[in-house]
Amino acid sequence: MTAEPIYGLMAEFENPTDLVHASKAAFEAGYRKMDTYTPFPVEEAAEAVGAHHNRVPLVCLIGALLGMIGGYSLEYWVSVINYPINVGGKPFHAWPAFIPVTFECAVLGASLATVFGMLALNGLPQPYHPVFNVPSFTGATRDRFYLCIESQDPRFSISDTRKFLESYHPLQVSEVPY
Amino acid sequence: MPNKTDSHPNLISPDEIKPASLELETVRKKLAGANGPKYWRTLQELADQPALGELLQREFPRGAGEWLDPVSRRGFLKLAGASLALAGLAGCTRQPYEQILPYVRQPEYLVPGKPIFFATAMPFGGYAHPLLVETHEYRPSKIEGNPQHGACLGGTDLFAQASVLDLYDPDRSINITYKGEPRPWGEFLGSIRARVLYHNSNQGAGLRFLSGATSSPTFGSQMRAIQQVFPQSKWYRWEPAHHDSFRAGSKMAFGAYYDSIYKFDAADVVVSLDGDFLSGSWFPGFVRYARDFMTRRKDPEKGMNRLYVAESAPTTTGAKADHKIPARNAEIEQIARALAAKVGVAGGGAGQLSAEHQKWVDAAAADLIQHKGKGIVVPGVFQSPAVVALVHAMNAALGNAGQTVTYIDPVEIDPLINTDSIRELVGEINAGKVETLIILGGNPVYDAPADLDFGGVLEKFVADQKNMVLQLSIFKNETTDFATWHVPEAHYLESWGDARSFDGAVTLIQPMIAPLYDGKSANEIIAIFTDEPSSSGYDLVRAYWRSQHTGDDFEAWWRRSLHDGYIANSAFPAKQVAAKLGAVPAAAAVDPNAIEIIFRPDPTIYDGRFVNNGWLQETPKPLSRGTWDNVAYISPKMAQQFGFFVLETDGIAKSDSEPNVNADHQSDAQNVLEITIDGRKVKVPAWPQPGHPDGAVTLFLGYGRRKTGIVGTGTGYDAYSVRPVGSQYTGSGSIQVIPEHWDIAITQGHFTMDTREPVKAASLKEFLEDKHFAHDEPELEPRENESLYPDYRDKGWYKSNAWGMAIDLNSCVGCQACSVACYAENNISVVGKYQVQRGREMMWIRIDTYYAGDPANPSVYFQPLPCMQCEDAPCEGVCPVGATVHSTEGLNDMVYNRCVGTRYCSNNCPYKVRRFNFLLFADYTTPVLKLQRNPDVTVRSRGVMEKCTYCIQRITAARINAEEQGRYRDGRIDIRDGEIKTACQQACPADAIVFGDINDPNSRVAKLKSQARNYSVLAEVNTRPRTTYLAAVNNPNPELEKA
Amino acid sequence: MATRIDEEIDVIPPKGVRPPIIGPGQTLGTVADRIGGIVLTKHTPIFWLMIVALAVALFGVLNTAIAYLLGRGVGIWGVNIPVGWGFAIVNFVWWIGIGHAGTLISAILLLFKQGWRTSINRFAEAMTIFAVMQAGLFPLLHTGRPWLAAYWLFPIPLTMGVWPQFRSPLIWDVFAVSTYFTVSFLFWGIGLIPDFASLRDSAKTLFVRRIYGILAMGWRGSAKHWNRYESAYMLLAGLATPLVLSVHSVVSLDFAVAVVPGWHTTFFPPYFVAGAIFSGFAMVLMLAIPFRYLYGMQDFITLRHLQNCAKLMLATGLIVAYSYSMEMFIGWYSNDKFELGLVHNRLHGPYSHYYFVLIFCNIIAPQSLWFNKVRSTPWILFLVSTIVQTGMWLERFVIVVLSLNRDFLPSSWGMYWWTKWDIMTLVGTMGFFVLLFFLFIRFMPAISISELRTLLPQSKVKE
């Protein structure tokens, strides 16, 4: 059989426990290019596939700093440099009055950065992805748990990997076509 | 010049630009001078001459090079930019199709954008009020008093201020009508001429004239002329707010009619028997009197005069009294007799008094006797002749006559008793002796005594075809319905004329603008009867004065008189008259249980002539603060007996009444009384007025008009409908509570100071003991510069001029002239009764009125409240768009076109002096109203906050003027003290408001602010207001204080 | 999906026993079916149609009122001098307050790892967003010239060259409220992504699948995605927590910064925040109780949730009560004549009856929540919440009107009476709110499916 290039092999499990076992084993077996798909966050699975850390917090911090500096400097520039007016005898640089806006700007910047940073890092929105080609994959948002080892992985070979996955008695193992 | 250039580095002075030393002219001369065939081949050859050489080498003549100077180039670019912008603008405008022409001859004096002031006068109740009228491109826009004229010294009353609005009233009568049908002038003239011919044939039998009181010499001469042409004709007079008692009283005392002139600045003790000589517009000369009287109260350290007042209907004069007793008119006559007896006047007989009144009389009499020749007894315009006569006698007995009181011939043209006159006229009409009745001004059908039923009489009269009624009036009113011919009258700002002020000085009336609706003056109408062709008002007045003027310099004299607004030393000389008082007729026995009905002209509508004037309708009545209606004053005690709410002096708010009619608005439902005077009834809203005497009701004339303009329709009740000819100002009748409610609109719901004490007051004794009594809570008052904020002076602010205002609470008589002046000056909108009930009146300077003490006879305080112009203004900090910010001169500026209308500033204003355009209050549609507007002040649109800015347009005008003249002193623009007067200051008769530069230690305002009495309202809020007050000090009699 | 009857589920538990967070017998699948079912079903319930019809009618009333307002001017309302702020600002503060519980539940309870929040946070967040939308209307409409205020309040370069005046609390408001709306919306939005995916996958028709497919943005539940998603969610929670506290603090500064007696107090921020949470939870209950009844969601919104909300109401209510007493105490203790005047005005002034009704609604009525019986009986809870909601509206009325109508100078004291247009605007926003909320229930998962799953025993990884 002339095998067309496939995206990978996907094993479907009934509960998170089995998924985590299989994933851990796969990692120990040296597989790296793999991912799990679950209807709700399963921390162990994420760790198993090696997704420990992410850069979302960093993005958030940058956003916060930008918002904060931007907000305050806007207020300062407007009230002290660009158009200083005597307002009720208050000083031009009335810093206590500038704090609320500065704070709100910081929060706004942080939130926007976090959300859009997260989406960007996740590569979302993404209309097409091979895993959706697996007929039974709809379970991934319902009550099934999937482990997909990708063909890009150096140690990937259809037969061995299939054997390896089946050894963790999944409900089924299916090929993920491109 | 040098310091000018210093101040304007951008300007290059002309002498810096040198013209080229040799121009082509000189070259030509040179060539011309060359004789013989001496040609020049090249320019070089000609150019041996250095100068020409220079000319040739230079591309441009000298001076043109100045364009390369950066400053000038910038100037050039500015011009270029501006012209481009203008070109753009021009592109936007639609050119009119009609052919328009520029001035061929520029009108004299006219500088577009600069106001011109003309002197004229307002005839009012037979007296002239000398005025200075501000005109913009010959549109009268603002009335001021004529500062050179002794009758006002620059002050005005609210009627003069508001009269300019009448000129532009869209409801004015605009055409001649015959039985209601519009007719051309020619037809009218023809009809009248025919009439004149007819009366020529019968010596004027059946020809009758009815006019109001007048003091116009020209008019007087015309009257005499009529008498010669028509010997049988008769003149009658009806002035609804007449001074009959003055006449009768004068007759009683002197055997002839005289007018009294008072010198209040010379009086130490003033006893007023209901004489409203402060701020009572019906009291001849009050504007001058208020000024004179207050000169004795401006500086208590120099001593003060003392004022005793016994009055029936509470007035502002009573409010300023040191000792006031409320008394019914009947009682006042008793008081007069008792007082007279005490000061040694026989014939009055001793009146029987209550203990309280007796005490007052004793004290007053003692004081008067103590200050013989330095006291004044003032009679009330509306008192009985007996009171007036007794007063004359008292002034004589006390030696005041000749000192503080002088007598002159009556200013009014042939004075008479109005009630007799009108009674006689009605008698004649009923007797069929009248065929032609000429009614010059006035509105007798509405305001003639009720029991004469003038309307009914007139109806029968005109029913007969051969009879004719000619009415001249500025409005179509109730009388117009019975007029065969109606002719629109010219407003005094449209007509020529003359009149005498209270002291007899002749003031000339010159028109500011051609009659808007071809109105005619009374003089012109009379002229139809005498001369052919009838002459114009100008000819009449001029001709008369030419005949009067002795000397050949008439032209110069005439021009000067017109310019000054009055004829120099034309005041009547004082007469030496002795009061030889016979037996004063005994007072009619009064049933103490009978309810006394008191009639008074309305404080803001007068006799009804101003009922269609929006400014005056919305101006709160002094003391009651009511607008848009007249109420009936009753005493708080009476109100309690009836179970009405009582306007308590302890902080119970009356405007807290739940809305009773529709939950849609806040209204003040008043209980309704029905007043019955010999059979005639009128329903009136009762108002419990603190200080009103018991057993009496005060009705105000002038409202309840059946036929008037949009503004006046449906306001108030008609007191004339029950006013009998027999008892014009004091009657008696019965009152009955009606289970109805009458919504009135008041601008102030609380009349007590609660614990806040915005007004600081003390007696002279207390003041002398503690001059700083106004600062009684030092722990609450922040020290100078005690603030977390920086001092902007350190930043170089407020350096040039720092405007401030000081208001002397001692002087303020609460007459409301300032409020109306502010309406006129600042294009303030009138909002109407409903909006006032909602609390949305737009008054920029209001006069807060507070009562303290016993409601039966409280002490009253007035406090004019404009914007305080706080240096640390709470309103500014909270504005999200910076629409109200501070100027370098310390003004709290309002930027109308930046305001989005959050109203946060108003909420945060401790003084609540900000006003908001909740709806589109300004009238953008009525064309004629636009003529009145002050072009220097924005007309505020809907949704915008507005407030007093110390008449910033006047400040700016003065500053520009000073800069044009290059007036600078030590880095400051040198604006002279008093060069700027705010509208309120200028209008104030008592000179209570002083505005100026507080940086200048010698300015009046700075001096006042340095006085011990000077204090800031709500100092503890530390807003550092620029408007401060001089605490009130009164001067009670120690004798009475002890008791 | 047989709905179960109230009586069976809502039995008052014996003492000491707390009801479960989630009903027995629910599995990963049934959760999706029950919650997704509401959205995916073709059959629209009749009560939904009736409620939405009513809401649309009220929405029409709102639009009428706004149209007339823009045509005539703010003068059609009862505002005047001295009471420059009336219903509009009262409603604004009221709605903003309601909008606080949502973010609070989602964020703060998340940080405190309160598992029970998961079944109510979704519609609490929706409630927040819709309430803030209502609130946002008022500050704009109450200005004299809304068409200018709409953009002059933001720092946009204008030809005039002038900028917003950043010392004004109203500008702080603009930033606070708009930030709050944005952040709440983002929080709500990313929470929805996995559920949209779930709807996408259980959708029956292609069209519906497409719609939710687009909304799900291709979510596939990858571990790496979950990992970032989780931290983003936590971060937002961390940000929203100070934000939610700041928003009502800033709103309270509108008053506290002013010099008006009754406004000019330092303890307004905490006082306002407590009040906001108070009314917020009242609103959560007012929505949750009918919702769980109408849609038979008693398994997911159990008595446990109602009780917890009730307890939080009681707690915040006590803080509010404390604030009221302090307000009066400080007024008296300051011995400042204006503060004393304020106390007098509240107790004996023309509006004193409003104040006493307020005391009943916000202090006396909530005390009933001490009793387990009350906390466990939905209809009583609903009643109490309604009373509290009214009380909180009155509180703002008292703060705005009773302070302004008698401030410094007696001469300028006045009264405030609203007009029918004030009423129409208030009722109209209620209609608008209900409309938005029921549209949300019909077309979006009202309970977070993916989060709810984590509560099930099946979701735990056994070693």
User: Could you read off the pLDDT of B477-495 as tens digits, one per residue?
Assistant: 999 999 999 999 999 999 9
The angle subtended at Cα C213 by Cα C207 and Cα C216, nearest 5°, is: 150
Contact (Cβ atoms closer than 8 angstroms) between residue B129 and residue B566: no
Q: Are the Cβ atoms of C453 and A78 closer than 8 angstroms?
A: no
Residues of C in contact with A129 (CB under 8 A): 218, 220
Which of C29, C226, C228 comes nearest A142 by C-beta? C29
* A125 lies within 8 A of chain B by CB: no
pLDDT category of residue B646 using cuts at 50, 70 and 90: low
Please indicate whether, in this complex, the C-beta atoms of A104 and C228 are within 8 angstroms of each other. Answer: no
pLDDT band at B874 (very low <50, low <70, confident <90, very high): very high
More confident residue, B62 or B590: B590
Test A89 with B882 for CB contact under 8 angstroms: no
Subunits with 3+ Cβ pairs within 8 Å of C are A, B
Q: Which of A87, A93, A101 to mutate to test the interface with B (most CBs of B within 10 A)?
A: A87
C347 touches chain B (CB under 8 A): no
Which residues of chain B have a CB within 8 Å of the CB of C407? 910, 912
Lowest mean pLDDT among A165-174, B311-320, B516-525, B638-647: B638-647
Residues B647, B594: contact at Cβ < 8 Å? Answer: no
**pLDDT attached to residue B153:** 87
First to last CA, chain B: 70
Q: For residue range B720-767, what is the model confidence (pLDDT) as tens digits?
A: 999 999 888 988 888 988 888 888 888 887 888 877 888 998 988 889
Hey, are the CB atoms on A141 and C221 less than 8 Å from each other?
yes
- A vs C, Cβ pairs < 8 A, gives 203
Domains of chain C by residue range: 6-10+24-457
Contacts of B914 in chain C (CB under 8 A): 81
Q: Report whether C390 contacts B890 (CB < 8 A).
A: no
Closest-CA distance of chain B to residue A87, Å: 5
Instruction: Determine, for residues C461 and A16 on separate chains, whether the beta-carbon distance falls below 8 Å.
Output: yes
The predicted structure's pLDDT at residue C168: 93
Q: pTM for this one?
A: 0.87
Cβ B944–C153 below 8 Å, yes or no?
Answer: no
| Interface contact B789, partner A, CB < 8 A | yes
Task: Examine the pLDDT at B342 and tell me if it is beyond 90.
Answer: no
Unique residue bearing structure tokens 């917890």: C308
Given a contact cutoff of 8 angstroms between Cβ atoms, the answer to whether C271 and C322 are in contact is no
Confidence band, pLDDT 50/70/90 cuts, at residue C103: confident
Q: Cα–Cα distance between A113 and A110 in angstroms, integer?
A: 5
User: Averaged over B441-450, what is the pLDDT?
Assistant: 91
Q: Is the pLDDT of residue B652 over 50?
A: no
Q: Is the pLDDT of residue B527 over 80?
A: yes
Q: Which residue of B755, B917, B942 is in closest CB contact with C341?
A: B755
Task: Tell me, rounded to whole angstroms, the distance of Cα B170 from its chain centroid.
Answer: 21
Distance CA B452, CA B777 (A): 61
> Quick one: pLDDT band at residue B664, thresholds 50, 70, 90?
very low
pLDDT tens, residue by residue, A122-145: 888 888 888 888 888 888 888 888
Coil, strand or helix at B869 = coil
Q: What is the ipTM of this complex?
A: 0.90
Contact B935, C117 (CB under 8 A): no
Q: How many CB atoms lie within 10 A of CB C97?
A: 30
Digit-coded pLDDT (tens) for B276-313: 999 888 899 899 999 999 999 988 888 899 999 999 99
Long-range contacts of B921-924 (CB under 8 A, 24+ apart): B921/B829, B921/B830, B921/B831, B921/B835, B921/B842, B922/B827, B922/B829, B923/B829
Contact, C373 vs C281, CB < 8 A? no
Answer yes or no: is pLDDT of C155 > 60.
yes
User: Does C78 sit within 8 Å of B882, measured CB to CB?
Assistant: no
Q: Tens of pLDDT along C3-42?
A: 444 444 566 666 667 777 777 777 777 777 778 778 788 8
The CA R_g of chain C, rounded to the nearest whole Å, is 23
| Contact between chains at A41 and C218 (C-beta distance less than 8 A) | no
Question: What is the mean pLDDT of the segment spanning C177-181?
Answer: 93
- C350–B contact, CB cutoff 8 A: yes
Cβ of C168 within 8 Å of Cβ of B878? The answer is: yes
Interface probe for C, chosen from B840, B904, B945 (most Cβ of C below 10 Å), is B904
Q: A-chain residues within 8 Å CB-CB of B888?
A: 86
CB contact under 8 A, B790 and A85: no
Write out chain C residues lying below 8 Å of A80, CB-based. Answer: none
Q: What is the per-residue pLDDT for B20?
A: 44
H helices present in B853-1002, as ranges: 874-877, 904-907, 927-932, 952-964, 983-987
Q: How confident is the model at residue B30, as a pLDDT?
A: 58
**CA separation (Å) from B319 to B347, B496, B635, B753, C123?**
32, 39, 16, 16, 67
Q: Which of residues 122-151 of C touch B (CB under 8 A)?
A: 142-146, 148-149
Which of B790, B870, B877 comes nearest A87 by C-beta? Answer: B877
Q: Cα dist. C45→B886, C1, C212, C440, C444 in Å?
A: 62, 14, 21, 14, 15
Beta strands in B161-233 (DSSP E): 177-178, 181-182, 207-211
Interface contact flag, A142 C172, Cβ < 8 Å: no
Residue A143, pLDDT score: 82
A80-95 pLDDT, tens digit per residue, is: 999 889 998 889 999 9
Chain C residues close to B915, C-beta within 8 Å:
81
- Which of B912, B920, B946 is best to mutate for the C interface (most C CBs within 10 A)? B912
Q: Do B904 and C74 touch (CB under 8 A)?
A: no
User: Is A86 within 8 Å of chain C by CB?
Assistant: no
Residue among B877, B903, B1018 whose CB faces C408 most closely: B1018
3-class secondary structure, B267: coil
Beta B436-440 vs B207-211: how paired, if at all?
parallel
Of B357, B299, B365, B369, nearest to B332 by C-alpha is B357
Q: Is the dihedral of CA B445, B451, B452, B453 positive or negative?
A: positive
Which residues 190-249 of chain C have a CB within 8 Å of chain A?
Answer: 190, 193-194, 197-198, 200-202, 217-232, 235-236, 239-240, 242-243, 246
DSSP state of B1016: -
Is the torsion defined by CA of B550, B554, B560, B561 positive or negative? positive
CATH class of the domain comprising C6-10+24-457: mainly alpha
- Poorest-pLDDT segment among A150-164, B321-335, B992-1006, B1008-1022: A150-164
Distance from CA of B653 to the nearest CA of C (A): 8
Under a CB-based contact definition with an 8 Å cutoff, are residues B526 and B219 in contact? yes
The residue ranking higher by pLDDT, B824 or A174, is B824
Of residues C162, C406, C419, nearest to B664 (C-beta)? C419
For B653, which of C79, C149, C350 is closest by C-beta distance?
A: C350
- Cβ <8 Å between A40 and C459: yes
Taking the CB of residue A172, how many other CB atoms lie within 10 A of it?
13
- Where do the structural domains in chain A lie, given as residue ranges? 6-53+127-177, 56-122
| pLDDT at residue B7 in the model | 43
Contacts with A88 from chain B: Cβ below 8 Å: 789, 870, 872-877, 886
Q: A64: which residues sit within 8 A by CB, 6+ positions away?
A: A106, A107, A109, A110, A113
Helix H or strand E encompassing A177: strand A172-177
pLDDT value, residue B26: 56
Residue A160's pLDDT is 84
Whether A18 contacts A173, CB under 8 Å: no
Q: How far apart are CA A15 and CA C419, in angstroms?
A: 62
Which residue in A75, A94, A129 is closest to C218 by CB distance?
A129
Q: CA of B880: which chain A residue's CA is closest?
A: A87
Indicate yes or no: CB of B787 within 8 angstroms of CB of A87.
no
Residue A65, chain C, CB below 8 Å: the answer is: no
Beta strands B139-145 and B680-688 are unpaired
Top-ranked range on mean pLDDT: pick from A39-48, B921-930, B966-975 = B921-930
Please state, in angstroms and rounded to a whole number, the distance separating the CA atoms of residues B131 and B817: 14
Instruction: Indicate the SS3 state at residue C231.
Output: helix
Please tell me which residue of chain C has the smallest CA distance to A50: C224
**Mean pLDDT, to the nearest integer, of A149-156?**
84
